[in-house]
Amino acid sequence: MKRLILIACLIPSCSITAVALAQNVLIENATVHTAGTRGTLKNTDVLVQGGIIRAIGPNLSAPGVTRVDAKGKPLTPGLFAGLGDIGLEEVSAEKSTVDASFSLGEGVTGQMRPEFDVVPAFNPNSMLIPITRLEGFTFTAISANPGSSLIGGQGAIMRLNGKFEDPIGSRILFASMGSSADELSGSSRAAQYMLLDQAIREARGLSPYDYRQALLTPAGREALNKFLLGGRTVFNVERASDIRQVLSFAKKNGMRPVIVGGTEAWQVAAQLKSDNVIVIVDALQNLPSSFDQIGARLDNAALLQKAGVRVGLYRADDASQNARKVRQVAGNAVSNGLPWEAGLAAITSVPADAFGVGDKVGRIEVGLIADLVLWNGDPLEVNTFAEQVWMSGQAMPMKSRQTQLRDRYMSEENGLPRAYKK
C-alpha cells in the first residue's frame, strides 16, 4: 500500500489507471542518468510521445501530456537482466516448462545444431517477467544453452513488456569453450577448435558433404554461415588463454565475439581493448569454482574498464530466477573500483551495444524507445526500489505474483480465515 500511495503522489494530475494506458508522458525535475555521452543531468525533464523519447532538457512543455513530478529522484534507462532463460523457463525442476536447450541424445558428441533458435519458445506471459521488471529490468538476452553441443544455438534480445512481439535486433549465436565444454568435445580444448573448424568448413562449403560424418545439417550450414559474415557470437569462456584463442579464432573466421564469463579477462585486457571486444562479467565472482577461474578477483570489471575495455555485467548463477541480483552485481563492481557511471552503463548501454540494440534501448536519448525507471534512491543500492517502470512510455503495473502473495498473506486480519482473502 505504501508503494501505491507513493506513486499516486508522483502523479497528482491523473489516476494510476489513466497513466497505465498512456504512451505520452512528461517526467519533470528528475536526476537523469542517461547512460550515454551526456552523463547525468540534474533537474531535467524527459518528454515521451508515441512511446519514443522526443526531448530531454529543463523546463520542457507539452500541453495535454501526462505530467509526472520526479522530485529530483534518479531516472535511468531500463536495466539489462543478463543472459538467461527468462520467458523460456518457469520451474527449473519441471522439464515441460524449460525450453532453453536442445539435446542431441545420450552419448552423442561433436554434432552441432546452430539452427536451433529459442525465440519461438519465448513466453511473454511468464511469471518471471513481472517479477524481474518490477525491479527495473526491461530487456534481457534469452540464450540457447549448450545442451550436448559446443554451439548451443541462437537467442535474441527480448523486451520484458509482457507483449507478443518480435525480438529487437538480430539473432545471437551461443557457444561454450574451455573445460566447461569438455564433455561436448571428447574432453579436450584442442578438440573444440578441431570440431569448430570442421563445422566452419562445412558451412562455407569447403569440405565434401557426407551426412554420415558431417557435424552440421544443411539448415545448420546455412545458419552458421550467417554468423561468419559478422554475426554476433557469445563465447562463454573463463580462462585467459582460452579468451586469447577465442579472439584469434573469431577474427580468423569473420565472427563478432562477445565474451561472457571472462573471470580471467583482466589478464588479457590489452588484447580485448585492441580487438574492441565487449566483455560481460559477474562482479560477484571472487573465488574459483574451477581451474579455469584461478585468477578470479573482485576488481575484474574495474581493471578491464581502466584498460579501456567496455564491460557489461550479469549474474552467472541462477540467472533467470534471480535476475534482480544484477543490480547487486553492479553495486559490487562499483565498490571494487568501477566508476559509478560505468557501473550503470554496464547494465544498460554496454550490453545494448554488445548485442546490437544500442540504437533502440539502453540509454535515455532522443529517438530511443522510452523504457525508463524512476527510483527512490541510488539504483545500484540493494535497498533501493523502482517506484515506476515505463516501457514505450506506458506505465507498467508495479506488482507481480510475489507482491500479490505478500499483500494477501501479510495484510491485516479482517475476521475471515486467510483462505478467504482475495
d(CA 336, CA 301): 8
Distance of CA 314 to the CA centre of its chain: 7
* CA-closest candidate to residue 22, choices 51, 1, 43: 51
pLDDT tens-digit series, residues 257-314: 999 999 999 999 999 999 999 999 999 999 898 999 999 999 999 999 999 999 999 9
Crossing angle between the packed helical segments 218-227 and 189-203, to the nearest 10 degrees = 100
CA dist list (Å): 11 to 26, 209, 403, 419: 11, 65, 22, 34
Report the amino acid identity of residue 46.
V
β-pairing verdict for 372-375 and 386-391:
antiparallel
Among the listed ranges 73-77, 87-91, 244-248, which one has the minimum average pLDDT value? Answer: 87-91
> What is the pLDDT, as a whole number, of residue 321?
82
Distance of CA 90 to the CA centre of its chain: 17
Helix (H, G, I), strand (E, B), or coil: what is residue 410?
coil
* CA-closest candidate to residue 164, choices 129, 112, 113: 129
Helix (H, G, I), strand (E, B), or coil: what is residue 237?
strand
> What is the pLDDT, as a whole number, of residue 4?
36
DSSP bridge partners of 390:
372, 395
The sign of the torsion formed by the CA atoms of 76, 78, 84, 90 equals: positive
CA dist list (Å): 160 to 134, 216, 269, 327: 10, 33, 33, 17
Q: Which uninterrupted H or E stretch holds 350?
A: helix 349-354
Distance of CA 351 to the CA centre of its chain: 7
d(CA 31, CA 20): 23
pLDDT higher than 50, residue 361: yes
> What is the pLDDT, as a whole number, of residue 303?
98
- If phi over 0 gives left and psi between -120 and 50 gives alpha, with beta otherwise, what is residue 393? left
DSSP at 32: E
* CA-closest candidate to residue 263, choices 238, 240, 280, 286: 238
pLDDT higher than 60, residue 125: yes
pLDDT mean over 100-108: 68
pLDDT-derived band at 146 (thresholds 50, 70, 90) equals low
Among the listed ranges 249-263, 325-339, 396-410, which one has the minimum average pLDDT value? Answer: 396-410
Contact (Cβ atoms closer than 8 angstroms) between residue 36 and residue 363? yes
pLDDT-derived band at 410 (thresholds 50, 70, 90) equals confident
d(CA 84, CA 318): 8
pLDDT-derived band at 422 (thresholds 50, 70, 90) equals low
pLDDT higher than 50, residue 72: yes
pLDDT-derived band at 411 (thresholds 50, 70, 90) equals low
pLDDT tens-digit series, residues 211-231: 778 999 999 999 999 999 999
d(CA 77, CA 91): 29
pLDDT tens-digit series, residues 153-196: 999 999 999 999 999 999 999 998 888 776 777 778 888 999 99
> What is the pLDDT, as a whole number, of residue 213?
84
pLDDT-derived band at 412 (thresholds 50, 70, 90) equals low
> What is the pLDDT, as a whole number, of residue 322?
85
Q: Give the mean pLDDT of the chain.
A: 89
CB atoms within 10 A of CB 294: 12
